[in-house]
Amino acid sequence: MTIKREAIQMIERMPDGASLEDIFAELYFKMKVEQGLSDVAAGRVVTDDEARGRFAKWLNSPGR
């Protein structure tokens, strides 16, 4: 199935009262999930410990 067809089906499953903002939010969410899955498949991941370390460093940075 093409990306276009998937998007159309996703929109068709949404309630008739869905706003453009709702539609964009769903499409954006799907895009980010697909990017995340692609990153995992390509090995572009960090461990929990590394993520926690990065987050702690960010929390303690003066520019935050």
pLDDT tens digits for range 11-28? 999 999 999 999 999 999
Global confidence as pTM: 0.72
Q: Give the burial class of 60: count Cβ atoms within 10 A of its Cβ; 0-12 exposed, 13-18 middle, 19 or more buried.
A: exposed
8 A C-beta contact, residue 23 and residue 11: yes
The reported pLDDT for the residue numbered 62 is: 86
In the predicted model, is pLDDT for residue 63 greater than 80? no
